[in-house]
């Protein structure tokens, strides 16, 4: 199958419009993140650490313990500070439950330096899980406690491993990225992760996550046994990644710019062979070549764009191309290394049999 430029451009335009729309529709949504936990367990500190901004005041204020408080952040993110259910004056219980129900994610705080998962806390959790399962258990203040793995295990055992448990310290910042990732996991299922990610200051780890996920998708597409079936989906993944990274770093990319970049990298020069491999001219071997090449090109493209955004370099072909090519070479070497390692293992297996 020959690479057809017109066909590429037509597919590209369609995919670009579709992915842009998907992302734009995400940006209009509202995110509700509800925090629950005893006074002083570090809810406010955690939000400040996560967003790298002093959004909430730390330390209890009179009245805070019995009232639900909405803390709006930018236009579309609302953090909700709630006391535990049994601390709520009776008539507020309904209101509190409604918040839990409408939340995109509930951060259930435990204090590692106190009684972890007291009867009170366990009862609270049981009430909450009746209305929502989108719960992340946040074990805070790990800097002030010993044997954290044992505490985590204790929590998991008593909650039947239903929810992710993230041990953090909102004082030292330890594992805040883990919490960030867990939050993004939940929000991704609801197509709300991009807008949240945009508002986070720690962008590099988010970019890596998206790049690697797109690489895996591309490899899966490349491994498809149907010749030619991977062309458009692969463009879809790569364009989607470009748009997401540009949104993350708040550096909008035009359709023409994105197209030009894709032609100069994945499709152009090297691309001729790549697309030939991807459409699987070689039966049998085609699937393997297709998978690794498709994955490597996407990952290299993603890292190249990330690098440019982080260093404030304009996304111009002449700047992107050398970075892309260097990264692609690296990806391919990594791939080769992995394949060699795999062979070694096979040999070992054979000898051991
Ligand atoms: N040692 C330690 N102290 C913390 C940590 N997080 C918060 N604190 C302290 O705990 C107190 C209560 O924190 P705050 O965020 O206001 O808790 P909230 O009532 O749940 O919102 C403050 O004195 C914080 O400095 C932590 O990770 N480690
Ligand atoms: Mg607070």
Is 289 a residue whose pLDDT tops 80? no
Q: Which tens digit of pLDDT belongs to each residue from 234-271? A: 889 999 999 999 999 999 999 999 999 998 888 764 44
Residue 250 and residue 185 in one domain: no
Residue 33 vs residues 82, 98, 110, 136, 325: alpha-carbon distances, Å = 11, 13, 16, 11, 41
Is 70 a residue whose pLDDT tops 60? yes
Higher-pLDDT residue of 226, 333: 333
Residue 112 and residue 126 in one domain: yes
Q: Which residues line ligand 1 (CB under 6 A)?
A: 37, 39-45, 58-60, 140-141, 143-144, 169-171
Q: What is the per-residue pLDDT for 162?
A: 97
Lowest mean pLDDT among 36-45, 161-170, 185-194: 36-45
Residue 133 and residue 241 in one domain: no
Q: What is the per-residue pLDDT for 61?
A: 64
Is 284 a residue whose pLDDT tops 70? no
Q: Give the nearest ligand 1 atom to 140 CA.
A: 27
Q: What is the mean pLDDT of residues 332-342?
A: 75
Question: Could you tell me if residue 303 is inside a domain?
Answer: yes
Q: What is the per-residue pLDDT for 128?
A: 93
Q: Which two tokens stand for residue 177?
A: 């990225």
Question: Could you tell me if residue 104 is inside a domain?
Answer: yes
Is residue 341 very low, low, confident or very high in pLDDT (cuts 50, 70, 90)? low
Question: Could you tell me if residue 315 is inside a domain?
Answer: yes
Structural domain that includes position 74: 30-197
Residue 288 and residue 184 in one domain: no
Alpha-carbon distance of 52 to 36, in angstroms, equals 20
Task: Take atom 12 of ligand 1 and give the residue whose Cα is closest.
Answer: 40
Question: Could you tell me if residue 351 is inside a domain?
Answer: no
Task: Take atom 22 of ligand 1 and give the residue whose Cα is closest.
Answer: 59
Of 197, 226, 255, which residue constitutes the final position of a domain? 197
Task: Take atom 23 of ligand 1 and give the residue whose Cα is closest.
Answer: 59
Residue pair 215/189 in contact (Cβ under 8 Å)? The answer is: no
Q: Are strands 77-82 and 69-73 parallel, antiparallel or unpaired?
A: antiparallel
Is 277 a residue whose pLDDT tops 60? no
Question: Could you tell me if residue 68 is inside a domain?
Answer: yes
Is 3 a residue whose pLDDT tops 60? no
Question: Could you tell me if residue 243 is inside a domain?
Answer: yes
Q: Give the nearest ligand 1 atom to 39 CA.
A: 19
CA of 79 to the centre of ligand 2 (A): 11
Residue 127 and residue 248 in one domain: no
Q: What is the per-residue pLDDT for 344?
A: 41
Is 285 a residue whose pLDDT tops 60? no
Q: What is the mean pLDDT of residues 229-238?
A: 81
In the three-class reduction of DSSP (H, G, I as helix; E, B as strand; rest coil), residue 206 is classed as: helix
Of 197, 215, 232, which residue constitutes the final position of a domain? 197
Residue 185 and residue 38 in one domain: yes
Residue 237 and residue 295 in one domain: yes
Question: Could you tell me if residue 352 is inside a domain?
Answer: no
Lowest mean pLDDT among 87-91, 165-169, 256-260: 87-91
CA of 140 to the centre of ligand 2 (A): 13
Question: Could you tell me if residue 149 is inside a domain?
Answer: yes
Is residue 287 very low, low, confident or very high in pLDDT (cuts 50, 70, 90)? very low
Residue 302 and residue 327 in one domain: yes
Residue 225 and residue 209 in one domain: yes
Residue 173 and residue 307 in one domain: no
> What CATH number has the domain bearing residue 73?
3.40.50.300
Q: Which tens digit of pLDDT belongs to each residue from 183-222? A: 999 999 999 999 999 999 999 999 999 999 999 999 888 7
Tally of structural domains, the chain: 2
Cβ-based neighbours of 36, under 8 Å, separated by 6 or more: 82, 83, 84, 100, 106, 107, 108, 109, 124, 128
Q: What is the per-residue pLDDT for 337?
A: 81
Q: Give the nearest ligand 1 atom to 38 CA.
A: 20
Residue 168 and residue 246 in one domain: no
Of 197, 213, 236, which residue constitutes the final position of a domain? 197
Q: What is the mean pLDDT of residues 144-149?
A: 97
Q: Give the nearest ligand 1 atom to 169 CA.
A: 27
Is 345 a residue whose pLDDT tops 50? no
Residue 185 and residue 36 in one domain: yes
Cβ-based neighbours of 224, under 8 Å, separated by 6 or more: 230, 287, 290
């Amino acid at each position: 199958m020959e690479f057809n430029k017109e066909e590429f451009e037509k597919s590209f335009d369609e995919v670009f419009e579709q992915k842009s729309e998907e992302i734009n529709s995400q940006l209009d949504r509202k995110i509700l993140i509800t925090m629950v936990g005893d006074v002083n367990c570090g809810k406010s500190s955690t939000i400040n650490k996560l967003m790298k901004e002093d959004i909430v005041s730390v330390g209890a204020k009179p009245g805070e313990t019995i009232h639900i408080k909405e803390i709006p952040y930018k236009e579309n993110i609302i953090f909700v500070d709630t006391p535990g259910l049994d601390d709520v004056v009776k008539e507020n219980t309904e209101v509190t439950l409604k918040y839990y129900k409408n939340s995109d994610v509930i951060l259930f705080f435990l204090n590692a330096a106190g009684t972890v998962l007291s009867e009170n806390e366990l009862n609270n959790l049981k009430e909450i899980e009746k209305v929502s399962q989108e719960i992340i258990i946040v074990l805070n203040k790990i800097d002030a406690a010993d044997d954290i793995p044992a505490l985590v295990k204790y929590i998991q055992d008593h909650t039947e491993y239903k929810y992710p448990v993230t041990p953090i310290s909102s004082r030292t910042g330890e594992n805040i990225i883990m919490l960030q990732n867990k939050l993004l996991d939940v929000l991704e299922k609801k197509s709300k992760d991009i807008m949240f990610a945009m508002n986070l200051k720690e962008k590099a780890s988010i970019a890596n996550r998206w790049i690697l996920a797109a690489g895996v998708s591309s490899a899966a597409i490349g491994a498809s046994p149907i010749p030619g079936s991977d062309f458009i989906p692969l463009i879809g993944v790569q364009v989607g990644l470009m748009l997401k990274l540009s949104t993350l770093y708040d550096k909008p990319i035009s359709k023409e710019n994105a197209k030009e970049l894709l032609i100069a990298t994945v499709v152009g020069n090297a691309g001729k062979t790549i697309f030939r491999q991807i459409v699987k001219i070689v039966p049998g071997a085609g699937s393997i070549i297709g998978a690794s090449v498709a994955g490597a090109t996407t990952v290299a493209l993603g890292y190249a764009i990330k690098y440019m955004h982080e260093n404030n370099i304009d996304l111009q072909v002449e700047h992107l191309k050398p970075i892309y090519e260097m990264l692609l070479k690296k990806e391919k070497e990594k791939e080769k290394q992995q394949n060699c390692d795999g062979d070694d293992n096979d040999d070992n297996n054979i000898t051991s049999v």
